[in-house]
Amino acid sequence: MQFDLSAVETATLVFIGTLMFALVLTVFVMTASFAAMVLVGVGRLAWLIAANILLGLVHGINHAWDRLVHHAARVELPGGSAGDFVGDIAAEIMGQSAPSTGTYPRVVLRDS
């Protein structure tokens, strides 16, 4: 049995062509939306990985700094406390001895 397209009306052919065009557009839009969802998911995953790595680095640096500071606070310097040692060094650098307020040398302010 042979199918003769000349027996089909023009309106029917236009209708079938419109449905085929709509099917092609639908497949294109569905493919594009799926690709967009995949790209957004991959981007979000990459962002989460990068953010967690940076957050881990910051927490690691803060933890290491806290350990360093606590270790430095427990260190005993020869000849007295750390505050006296720092005050002596500051006085030597300035070229004169100055009364001390503990750790920091006292600064005298004068009107010019």
DSSP per-residue letters across 6-71: GGS-HHHHHHHHHHHHHHHHHHHHHHHHHHHHHHHHHHHHHHHHHHHHHHHHHHHHHHHHHHHHHH
Contacts of 104 (CB under 8 A, 6+ apart): 86, 87, 90
- The per-residue pLDDT for 6 is 76
**Confidence at residue 112, expressed as pLDDT on a 0 to 100 scale:** 47
| 100, two tokens | 């001390």
State pTM to two decimals: 0.46
pLDDT of residue 85: 54
The mean pLDDT values, 10 residues at a time, for the chain of 112 residues are 76 93 98 98 97 97 92 72 55 54 53 51
pLDDT at position 4, please? 73
Spatial CB neighbours of 91, under 8 Å, sequence gap ≥ 6: 97, 98, 105
